[in-house]
Structure 1
Amino acid sequence: MLGLRSDRLVTGGLIILVGVLLLLSTTDALPTESLWDFFPAVFIVLGLWALVRSGFRNLTGPVMVIAIASTYQAKALGYVTDEHIGTWWPLFVVLFGVLVLVGRNRRARRAVSTSTSDAGTVSLVSLFSGTQRRVTGSGFRGGDIFVAFGGAELDLRDADVPADPADVECLVAFGGAELNVPDDWRVELEVLSIFGGSEDERPRRSGEVAGDGPDLVVTGLALFGGVTVSP
């Protein structure tokens, strides 16, 4: 629930900031032209905050937000032109691919250290459609979910994780990702939400020990979308 509250605070704060700037502009109460030039910096700070909050476990979403926002901040300050962006924008695709490989390499190293196999990982891609996947058995290490204008559902209720927590990275834009997990799993949500949200909808377990480590860590980015953990 802490992740949900912080996500709502961040999203609400961004909306309030935009509203205040628009109000100042429409009422001529304060010149705001120069302030808008620094608006991309808000997303840079947001990405850095997500990195630190997750202990640098959440890489892909925050780093992509930082990279894109930094580019447009440089453009607003006159260091980068539209022509530069039009020429070099494929570098964002390269960066995205590198970050995905880094995430999978992390899971692979943990799999080797715990004598499990890559069979314990899963990848879901949903573009303008819906997809479902069910994982059963022991040795689940994690995976990645990519959703754009669609939905994805990952059912982990019959899965088991080794001693170390499994991690699932969700990149959701204009859609939703749902993870069905056992009621007794401890889940940490480290999803960076921009005009979206992440929520653990399971009822809180009685007698839960605050110091217990997580069974599952969910990271990633929700842009105009949502990531939900449900029973």
Structure 2
Amino acid sequence: MKSNKRAILGIILILAGMLLIAAHLGWIPWSFRSIIFSWQTLLIALGVFFILSRDNLPAGLILIGVGGFFLISKIVPMSFEYRRLIWPVLLVAFGLVLITRRTGRQKIPADSMDYIDDMSIFGGGDKMITSQNFRGGRLTCVFGGSKINLLKADLAKGQNIIDIFAMFGGTKLVIPTGWNVKIEITSLFGGFNDKRPVPPDNVIDPSKELVIKGIVIFGGGDIVSY
């Protein structure tokens, strides 16, 4: 999966570099440069990346839709100031992301202590998880953040997944050093790092795994341990 993402990202970077070379050599007319090298095209490229890498189809389609809408507005003259629609369109996009995440593949039982479903929008908070059969969940941070403490919890057998979506926000996970953690986060203008110290005896139970996946855009996150 990682090699597939790297190959797709590599192809996109090669195409971007070739377009820049062509622009500097004068092979691309000035009228097209402002279209090709724009934030609208960047959103479309990111959407294509998410779709081709099979990382997040709904987010990819939304990015392509938002970028395409404003790109068309840039190409085709309109009778109104389309920039006034930026925030309304972004709000619609955020809403679609939240809806698609609620109806995603990972089903979280209601009132279950073994899962977490936390949403931080223009705010945040701290949560302590004490489940001895923790199975993962969802974390959504938009212009906000959260801190999830799992030091008193234990993982369920097998693979357990935490799906994270962070945009202009982030999350901090406090996880025991002995947990087997795998990070599969796609980051754009952000990052997600495991800052836990390596345990001296390096005893990790391979039968229990926590996979942290999702998308971080203009945001970030950390895994720490106290």
**TM-score of the two chains, using structure 2 as the length reference:** 0.67
> Contact 1:124–1:131 (CA<8 Å) still a contact in 2?
no
| 1:67-111 alpha-carbon deviations (Å, 9 max, x no partner) | 322453476469x9889xx7x958746643442233475344xx9
Deviation at 1:228, TM superposition (A): 1.3
Q: Which has the higher contact order (CA 8 A, sep 6+)?
A: 1
Which runs of 5 or more residues in structure 2 are unaligned?
none
Q: 1:126 aligns with which of 117, 120, 127?
A: 120
Residue aligned with 1:137, SS: coil
Match of 1:35 in 2: 36
Matched, 1:135 2:138: no
CA-to-partner distance for each residue in 1:2-59, whole Å, 9 max, x for gaps?
Answer: x8xx89xx6xx87xx59x84x976x67442536348544421332135425xxxxxx4
1:13-24 equivalences under 5 Å are: 17=16, 21=20
1:221 is displaced (CA, Å) by 1.6
Q: Which residue of 2 aligns with 1:218?
A: 212
Structure 1 residues 65-214: aligned runs within 5 Å:
65-70=60-65, 72-73=67-68, 76=71, 92=93, 95-103=96-104, 105-108=106-109, 118-204=112-198, 206=202, 212=206
Q: Secondary structure at the match of 1:184?
A: coil
Residue 204 of structure 1 and its aligned partner are, at CA, apart by: 4.1
Distance of 1:130 and 1:43 partners within structure 2:
27
Q: 3-state SS of the aligned residue for 1:154?
A: strand
Assess if the C-alpha contact under 8 Å between 1:136 and 1:156 holds in 2.
yes
State the aligned residue count: 204
CA distance in 1, matches of 2:164, 2:108: 15
- 2: CA distance, partners of 1:192 / 1:74: 24
Instruction: Give 1:132 deviation, angstroms.
Output: 0.5
3-state SS of 2:129 partner = strand
- Hey, what's the Cα distance between the residues in 1 that align with 2:133 and 2:70? 47
Q: Does the CA-based 8 Å contact 1:43-1:66 persist in structure 2? A: no
CA contact (8 A) 2:128 2:149 kept: yes
Q: Which amino acid aligns with 1:202?
A: R
Asked if 2 retains the 8 angstrom alpha-carbon contact of 1:187 and 1:214, the reply is: no
- Taking only the aligned residue pairs, the percentage that are identical comes to 21
SS at match of 2:45: helix
Distance in 2, matches of 1:189 and 1:73, equals 31
Q: Secondary structure at the match of 1:215?
A: strand
DSSP 3-state at the match of 1:157: coil
In 1, Cα distance between equivalents of 2:123 and 2:99:
26
One-letter amino acid of the counterpart of residue 102, structure 1 = T
Ranges in structure 1 where 5+ consecutive residues have no aligned partner = 53-58, 112-116
Give deviations 1:162-197, integer Å, cap 9, x for gaps.
213222222212222011111111112122211111
Which residue type is aligned with residue 60 of structure 2?
V
For residue 135 of structure 1, report the CA deviation from its aligned partner: 0.4
CA distance in 1, matches of 2:44, 2:179: 37
Whether the 8 Å CA contact 2:169–2:218 is kept in 1: the answer is: yes
Question: Which one-letter code corresponds to 2:152 in the other structure?
Answer: D
User: Which residue of structure 2 lines up, in the alignment, with residue 228 of structure 1?
Assistant: 222
